[in-house]
Structure 1
Amino acid sequence: MNIGLFLAIAGAAIAVALSGTGSAKGIGLVATAASGAMSEDPKKFGKFILLVALPGTQGIYGFVMGFLTIQKIGLLGGQVVQLTIWQGLEVFFMNLPIAIAGLFSAIHQGKVCAGGVNLISKQEGEMGKALVMGVLVEFYAVLGLLVSIFVWLFLTF
């Protein structure tokens, strides 16, 4: 394996690992708040589950980018591309927008959604407001994914 290919694979791994780590942390934050709130009213599980799941999308975005990366370099049934160091760095940096945006937005989305759990616990009819606040944080993960995909689309070897 040459250094360029190693860098490309490392980029895919970082996209998956960082966004997945952020999602795990974000989901943990919301699930902790939801578990505490459900100890008082277990019937609110249905209202909380969407807020708990929302930070998990960043992990999915990172997985998609990792998959697109290994497909682009030929590790999925194609001819493995021999990359120069510079091409490997291009692929590595292509993955950083979703890796970084996914990590931080999922953690902060978890905090926002945990606040949403507290809101719904006290005012059950405010589910929409809690969800909108969580989705606002999601927007920045989507931007990170779009930047990574746009680079992926126009990257040629």
Structure 2
Amino acid sequence: MSLQDWMQLALTEAESASSQGHVPVGAVLVFQEKCLFKGHNLSGHSDFPLKHAEMKVLEMAMGHLSQEEWRMATLYVTLEPCPMCMGAILHTHLGRLVFGAANLKWGACGSVADLSHLYPSQNLEIIGGVLESQSQSLLSSFFKACR
């Protein structure tokens, strides 16, 4: 599958979040061309401020991948990770991060801050802008409906 195909799966997760009243962000963890875990944001309510899509997927994957396998895995997420999520991503030693829309408020991959250089020996590959317009449209529609 292509980067766009995997991101489309993450967008489906984001749509699930939106339909449940949560900020529409979805994430998919891929290893050896297989979707291992997928999830969406549950942080739309103040009771769950740490339940970001990335955190949910990373937590599900803990204990299932060796350190070497983490280095060969890819996380697809519809929105550029925030500092909290980027910190967690760096601690897993993930090999590649692919995101859709830039996060102009909290983005930690270059939009606001770039935390990827905190562990220079890690060699995390970051690809942004994959299905960016679809990701941004979903977020814009959600926040417009909230106003």
TM-score normalised by L of structure 1: 0.30
Q: Which has the higher helix share?
A: 1
Q: Which has the higher contact order (CA 8 A, sep 6+)?
A: 1
Q: Which has the higher strand share?
A: 2
